[in-house]
C-alpha cells in the first residue's frame, strides 16, 4: 500500500516535468457518447453511476476522469489507463507522474485517468473525525463505517473497476493498456478478473496478490523487511565491516528498548519536535513502514548501533520521522487529496481478514483474540525480530491485522473479501509485474505470486530499489523504459538494467568526534593533513545527512541532527538547500549551500565553517570547500577542493 507525503522533492519534480502535449483549446471534445470539457492540459468528464450496482433509481455518484488525446494526426493506436495507490489517493492528482511515464507514447496513444469512487473529485468520502485524527484507532474506523451505513460496501474495488469499464463503454474505447501502482495493482487485478476482455496488456508496479495462503497475516512482510536490511548492509562497505548481519547489528538496540522503554522527543525531517514513547514498537514502525524509505534504510543499522553504544539521537530522529511519514494526509487533511474513509472502506470490504467480517464487532473481537493466541503459539516468529505484540504497536494501516475489528458487519448482499476465489480465472494477456528488491510492503515474493496468476506473467525485479519503480521518484529509469517498451511491443526486451541499479550508500557510524570519522583520500596537490581530511569527510557526511532529509521534507525547512537549520528554495526545476550551522558531529557546525537537481543528478556543495568547537577546534580551524558528487551511480565518489586554515585541500571520498 502506497503512502506518500507532499514533499519539496515532488514539487520540484513536478516543476521539472515538461507540459503535456494534449490540446488546450477552449472547445469541448466529444468522445463516444460523452462531451468532455477542457481542463488544464486535458479534457475532463464525469459519468453518473449508481452507487448501488443494479439500482439505477437509487443514489447516484459522479465519477470524474481526465482524458489526454494523442497529439499526432490520425487515429490513436490505443488507450493508456493508469490507476493510483493508497487506497484513497485519486489518480488525477498523480497526473504528472503518469505523464512522465507515458510521454514518449502520447503521440499515438490516448491517456485516461479516473478518480475511483470515494476519492478525489469522485465524491471523496469524508469521515471528519477519522480524517482529522492524529492517528487511526479502531474506534474511529468503526465510527466511520457506521456513518457510511449501507453504503460502506459500495466503495469496493470491484465497483470502482466496473466504473472504469462503464467509462470505456461510454467513450467507445476498446482494449486498454492498464498500469497500476501499489494499491493500483490490486485494482488492476480486480479489473482483469471482471473485465479481462478489455485488456490489451497489464502492468503491476509494486504488486501484491488478491489472495493467497495465510494472506491475512501478511506472511511476506517480515522476511522482506529482514532481507532489505541484511542485503543493503552486505553491499555497503561501512556496514559490511561490522561483524554479523544487519539484524544482529540492530538486535542490541531492540533488546534495550524492550527492557527500558522511555518518553522521548526528537525532530522530524521538517524540523518539528515530535514526542513519543521510544520502545520496540517504534523501532518496528521504522523498519516495517519504510517511511521515509530512503533515510530509514540508509541509517537504521548505524543508528541502532549508536543507540546501543549510548548515543540515542540518530535512532530517535528516525522514529520521529517515521511517525510523521506514515500519515498519508496532506497538511489540510482534505479528503479530496487522500480519503482515510475510502482507505478503510476498501481495506475492510476487500482485503482478506483474520476474522469473519459478517460477524458483529463484539463477536469478532473474541474471534480475533483466539486467532492471535493460536498464531503466537504456532508461529511466534511471524514478524521477527519483533514479537507479534510489538508488531501490533505499528499504526493500524501498517500492521493491518486488526484495523477492521470495529467495522460494521458486512452486508449479506455484498459479502466482504469476495473479489477473488481460489479458482478465479485471469485473462490470458501480457502481464508485467515490477518489484523493488528493497520493497517490503509489496515484496518480491508478493510480486511473484501476482505474476503467477497470469499465464503470460513476467516479473521484473529492480535491484536496490524501493516501492513503485516506473514513476519518476524511483532510483532508476530502468523500469519506466521497460514498461514503455512492453506497452509498445508487448515484450520486455533487454532487461539487464534491472540488475544494474547502484547499491544504496548507507550512512557510516554516527560520529561523536573526529577520531570516529574516516579521512578523505588525498589527491595530487593536497596539503591538508589526515586530521583535516577527517574534517572534510565529516563536512560531506553533514551535507549527505541533510540531503537524506530533503527527500522527505514537506515544509521547506528542517533541522540538523545535533543542531542548526536548513532551508530549501526552489530554483526552476532544481533546489538550493541552505545550511546554517548544521551539526552532524557535535563540534563541527557546517554552513553553506547545496545545489540539488533531483535524486538522479549531481550535487554541488559549497561548505564552510568558521572554526570548529571542542576537540576538533585545533585541526578543523576555518574552511571553505567546494564538493561535487553524482547520486545513484555505482561506486561514485565525491571530489572536494578548497582550503582548511590556509592549507590546500584536494581529496575525494565515497559519496555521502
Residue boundaries of the structural domains of the chain: 28-122+155-210+428-499, 220-327+354-403, 514-654
Q: What is the mean pLDDT of residues 131-146?
A: 94
- Per residue in 364-418, pLDDT (tens digit) is 999 999 999 999 999 999 999 999 999 999 999 999 999 999 999 999 999 998 8
pLDDT tops 70 at residue 559: yes
pLDDT at 211: 87
pLDDT at 8: 37
Q: What is the mean pLDDT of residues 544-551?
A: 90
Strand 199-205, strand 430-436: pairing: parallel
For the chain, what is the total number of helices (H) and then of strands (E)? Answer: 20, 21
pLDDT at 572: 67
* Residue 570 pLDDT class (50, 70, 90 cuts): confident
In this structure, the number of other CB atoms found within 10 A of the CB of residue 555 comes to 16
What's the topology of domain 28-122+155-210+428-499? Rossmann fold (3.40.50)
d(CA 246, CA 234): 8
pLDDT tops 70 at residue 210: yes
- Residue 164: its H or E element: helix 157-170
Q: What is the mean pLDDT of residues 468-482?
A: 95
d(CA 141, CA 148): 11
401 closest CA partner among 410, 418, 389: 389
Which residues sit opposite 48 in a β-bridge? 62
Among the residue ranges 38-42, 219-223, 369-373, 588-592, the one predicted with the least confidence is 38-42
Q: What is the mean pLDDT of the chain?
A: 92
Classify residue 554 by its DSSP letter.
S
Among the residue ranges 118-132, 432-446, 460-474, 590-604, the one predicted with the least confidence is 590-604
pLDDT tops 70 at residue 25: no
pLDDT at 613: 63
pLDDT at 615: 59
Among the residue ranges 300-314, 458-472, 590-604, the one predicted with the least confidence is 590-604
Strand order in the sheet with 176-181: 29-31, 34-39, 42-50, 60-68, 109-114, 78-83, 176-181, 199-205, 430-436, 456-462
Which residues sit opposite 201 in a β-bridge? 177
Q: What is the mean pLDDT of residues 94-107?
A: 97
Among the residue ranges 194-198, 266-270, 302-306, 350-354, the one predicted with the least confidence is 266-270
Q: What is the mean pLDDT of residues 595-623?
A: 80
Higher pLDDT, 570 or 359: 359
SS3 of 41-70: the string is CEEEEEEEEECCCCCCCCCEEEEEEEEECC
Which residues sit opposite 204 in a β-bridge? 180, 433
Q: What is the mean pLDDT of residues 331-360?
A: 94
Amino acid at each position: 500500500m502506497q503512502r506518500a507525503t507532499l514533499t519539496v522533492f515532488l514539487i520540484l519534480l513536478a516543476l521539472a516535468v515538461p507540459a503535456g502535449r494534449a490540446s488546450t483549446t477552449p472547445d469541448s471534445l466529444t468522445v463516444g457518447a460523452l462531451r468532455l470539457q477542457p481542463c488544464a492540459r486535458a479534457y475532463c468528464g464525469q459519468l453518473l453511476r449508481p452507487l448501488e450496482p443494479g439500482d439505477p433509481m437509487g443514489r447516484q455518484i459522479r465519477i470524474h476522469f481526465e482524458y489526454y488525446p494523442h497529439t499526432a494526426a490520425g487515429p490513436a493506436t490505443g488507450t493508456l489507463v493508469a490507476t493510483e495507490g493508497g487506497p484513497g489517493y485519486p489518480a488525477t492528482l498523480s497526473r504528472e507522474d503518469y505523464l512522465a511515464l507515458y510521454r514518449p507514447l502520447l503521440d499515438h496513444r490516448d491517456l485516461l485517468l479516473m478518480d475511483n469512487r470515494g476519492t478525489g473529485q469522485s465524491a471523496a468520502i469524508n469521515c471528519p473525525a477519522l480524517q482529522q485524527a492524529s492517528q487511526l484507532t479502531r474506534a474511529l474506523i468503526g465510527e466511520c463505517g457506521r456513518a457510511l451505513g449501507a453504503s460502506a460496501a459500495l466503495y469496493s474495488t470491484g465497483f470502482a473497476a466496473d466504473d472504469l469499464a462503464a467509462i470505456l463503454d461510454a467513450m467507445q474505447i476498446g482494449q486498454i493498456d492498464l498500469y497500476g501502482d501499489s494499491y493500483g495493482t490490486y485494482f488492476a487485478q480486480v479489473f482483469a478478473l471482471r473485465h479481462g476482455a478489455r485488456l490489451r496488456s497489464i502492468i503491476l508496479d509494486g504488486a501484491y496478490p488478491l489472495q493467497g495462503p495465510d494472506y491475512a497475516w501478511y506472511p511476506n512482510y517480515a522476511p522482506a523487511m529482514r532481507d532489505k536490511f541484511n542485503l543493503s548492509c552486505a553491499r555497503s562497505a561501512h556496514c559490511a565491516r561490522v561483524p554479523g548481519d544487519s539484524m544482529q547489528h540492530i538486535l542490541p538496540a531492540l533488546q534495550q528498548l524492550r527492557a527500558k522503554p522511555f518518553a522521548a522527543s526528537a525532530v522530524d525531517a521538517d524540523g518539528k519536535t515530535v514526542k513519543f514513547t521510544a520502545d520496540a514498537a517504534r523501532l518496528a514502525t521504522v523498519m516495517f513502514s519504510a517511511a521515509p524509505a530512503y533515510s530509514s534504510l540508509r541509517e537504521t543499522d548505524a543508528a541502532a548501533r549508536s543507540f546501543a553504544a549510548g548515543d540515542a539521537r540518530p535512532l530517535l530522529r528516525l522514529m520521529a520521522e517515521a511517525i510523521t511519514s506514515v500519515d498519508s494526509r496532506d497538511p489540510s487533511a482534505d479528503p479530496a487529496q487522500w480519503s482515510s474513509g475510502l482507505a478503510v472502506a476498501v481495506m475492510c470490504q476487500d482485503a482478506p481478514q483474520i476474522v469473519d467480517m459478517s460477524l458483529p464487532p463484539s463477536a469478532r473481537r473474541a474471534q480475533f483474540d483466539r486467532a492471535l493466541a493460536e498464531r503466537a503459539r504456532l508461529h511466534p516468529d511471524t514478524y521477527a525480530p519483533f514479537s507479534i505484540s510489538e508488531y501490533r504497536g505499528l499504526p493500524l494501516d501498517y500492521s493491518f491485522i486488526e484495523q477492521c475489528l470495529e467495522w460494521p458487519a458486512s452486508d449479506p448482499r455484498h459479502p466482504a473479501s469476495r473479489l477473488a476465489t481460489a479458482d478465479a480465472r485471469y485473462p490470458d494477456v501480457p502481464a508485467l509485474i515490477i518489484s523493488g528488491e528493497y520493497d517490503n510492503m509489496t515484496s518480491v515474493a508478493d510480486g511473484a505470486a501476482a505474476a503467477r496468476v497470469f499465464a503470460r506473467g513476467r516479473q521484473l525485479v529492480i535491484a536496490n530499489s524501493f516501492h513503485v519503480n516506473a514513476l519518476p521518484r524511483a532510483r532508476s529509469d530502468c523500469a519506466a523504459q521497460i514498461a514503455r517498451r512492453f506497452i509498445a511491443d508487448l515484450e520486455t526486451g533487454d532487461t539487464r538494467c534491472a540488475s544494474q541499479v547502484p547499491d544504496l550508500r548507507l550512512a557510516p557510524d554516527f560520529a561523536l568526534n573526529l577520531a570516529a570519522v574516516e579521512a578523505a583520500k588525498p589527491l595530487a596537490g593536497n596539503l591538508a593533513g589526515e586530521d583535516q581530511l577527517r574534517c572534510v569527510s565529516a563536512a560531506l557526511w553533514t551535507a549527505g545527512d541533510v540531503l537524506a532529509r530533503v527527500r522527505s521534507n514537506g515544509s521547506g525547512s528542517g533541522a540538523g541532527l545535533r543542531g542548526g537549520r536548513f532551508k530549501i528554495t526552489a530554483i526552476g526545476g532544481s533546489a538550493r538547500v541552505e545550511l546554517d550551522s548544521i551539526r552532524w558531529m557535535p563540534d563541527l557546525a557546517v554552513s553553506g549551500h547545496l545545489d540539488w537537481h533531483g535524486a538522479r543528478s549531481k550535487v554541488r556543495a559549497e561548505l564552510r565553517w568558521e572554526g570548529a568547537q571542542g576537540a576538533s577546534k585545533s585541526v578543523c580551524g576555518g574552511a571553505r570547500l567546494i564538493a561535487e558528487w553524482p547520486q545513484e551511480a555505482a561506486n561514485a565518489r565525491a571530489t572536494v577542493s578548497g582550503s582548511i586554515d590556509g592549507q590546500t585541500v584536494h581529496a575525494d571520498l565515497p559519496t555521502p
